Amino acid sequence: MRVILKIFLIFIFISIFISCSDNSSKKDLRYNPTTLKELHNGFFDEEIVAEIAKSNNSEITIITTGHLYPLLNYPLAYNAVVDSIINQNPDYVFLLGDLVRDNTDVEWDSVLTRFDKVGCKVYFAPGNHDLNYHYERWEGSREHQYTAEMKYIEKVGYRYKLLKDSVANYVFINPNDSIDRVLSYLEIIKPEIDTSKLMILLSSQSLWHNKHQIKGDNHTWMAKAFTRDDILPNVEYFDYLIHGDWGGKFYEGNWPKSKGRFTVFAVGNRVPGDSLYIAKLVVTGNGIKGSSIRVLIPEESDWFK
C-alpha cells in the first residue's frame, strides 16, 4: 500500500512540475519589448492565449477581405465595402492584411473607425505594409521598423492569434516573420487547439504559392519571408489555408499534401478600377462553403474613373 501511495505521489509531483514548466515557458514570452530583436523573439499575451468566442452556433458566417489600402483615397467606395459587410450580418470579419499603405495614424484611424461599425468582432492578420514603413524597406533600411511594428501592436493588439469557437480553430499568422518564428508560434499554441474541430490557417499572403523574399534584393521585401516548401510540410494538420493578398474577386481550390489536400481560399481587392468584392465563408462542422459578393460602388465615386 505504501509503495502504491509513494508511486502516486511521485506521479502527482511530476505532473505538477511539467505543468509549471510549461506555464513558466509561456510566461517568459510575455514582456514589453524595447528593441526590434526583443519584438521578434517574444509574443504578447494576446498572441499566445487562445480567445474563445461565446457563440455556440452550429453555423458561423465570416466575411473576409484584404489589400484594402487603395480604398483609403476613395471614401465612397470604402464605405460601400463596409456597408456590404454589414448587410451580410456576419459573426466575424477577418481582415487579411495591407489595410494601410504608409502605416500612419491617420490611415489606421480611418480603417478602424470604419470597421467599428460592422457590429461584430473583427480579427486581423498583418500584411507587409501594416508592419513596416514600406518606403524604408524598399531601400533596404530597417531604421524605424521597431516603431512601425509597435504601431501595429498599438492599433490591433497582436501579430498572431488563436480564435476558437463551436465549429473551428482559426489561427492567424504573420508571414513577414521567419519560418522559424512562425513554426515556433504554432508549436506554442498547439496544446490549445481543439483537434476535434476544423483547422483553419489564415495569412495575409499565399502559403501555397512560392513567391518569397530573396536575400539581397530589397525590392522583394513585400513577399513572405519563407518559401512554400518551408511551411506546407509543417502545417499539414490544417484543413484550410486562407489568404487575403489576392487580385481577383475570389479563389477556391485545392493544394496537395502528403495525405489528402488542403482546401485553399484567396480573398482581397486590388487597385482603383477593379471590381470590388467581399468573400463570404459559411463554416460548419462539415467544412466551409465560400462565395464572393460584389460590392456596388456609388456612381459619384471616382473609383472607376
Q: How far apart are CA 270 and CA 55, in angstroms?
A: 33
DSSP secondary-structure letter at 233?
A: G
pLDDT computed for residue 7 by the predictor: 46
pLDDT computed for residue 117 by the predictor: 95
Q: How far apart are CA 148 and CA 131, in angstroms?
A: 6
Instruction: Concatenate the DSSP letters of all residues of 115-184 into one string.
Output: HTTSSSEEEEE--HHHHS-HHHHHTT--TTHHHHHHHHHHHTS-SSEEEE-SSEEEEE--TTS-HHHHHH
- Please provide residue 200's backbone torsions phi and psi, each rounded to the nearest 5 degrees: -125, 120
Where exactly are the structural domains of the chain? 1-30, 33-294
Q: Is there a contact between 160 and 53 (Cβ–Cβ < 8 Å)?
A: no
CA 253-168-204 angle, to 5 degrees, is 55
Q: Is there a contact between 146 and 133 (Cβ–Cβ < 8 Å)?
A: no
CATH code of the region 33-294 = 3.60.21.10
pLDDT computed for residue 249 by the predictor: 85
Where the chain has pLDDT below 50, the residues are: 3, 5-27
Residue at 12: amino acid letter:
I
Closest CA to 162 of 129, 131, 128, 185: 185
Q: Is there a contact between 279 and 290 (Cβ–Cβ < 8 Å)?
A: yes
Residue 266 CA, chain-centre distance (Å), reads: 13
DSSP secondary-structure letter at 50?
A: P
Q: How far apart are CA 145 and CA 132, in angstroms?
A: 6
> What are the tens digits of pLDDT across the range 43-98?
999 999 999 998 778 999 999 999 999 999 999 999 999 999 999 999 999 999 99
pTM for this predicted structure: 0.90
- Tell me which residue has cell 495569412: 203
pLDDT computed for residue 86 by the predictor: 98
Q: How far apart are CA 298 and CA 303, in angstroms?
A: 9
Q: Quick one: cell of 249?
A: 474577386
Q: How far apart are CA 256 and CA 141, in angstroms?
A: 37
Q: How far apart are CA 65 and CA 259, in angstroms?
A: 29
Q: How many CA within 13 A on the CB side of residue 80?
A: 19
DSSP secondary-structure letter at 303?
A: T
- Please provide residue 241's backbone torsions phi and psi, each rounded to the nearest 5 degrees: -120, 130
pLDDT computed for residue 125 by the predictor: 98
pLDDT computed for residue 2 by the predictor: 53
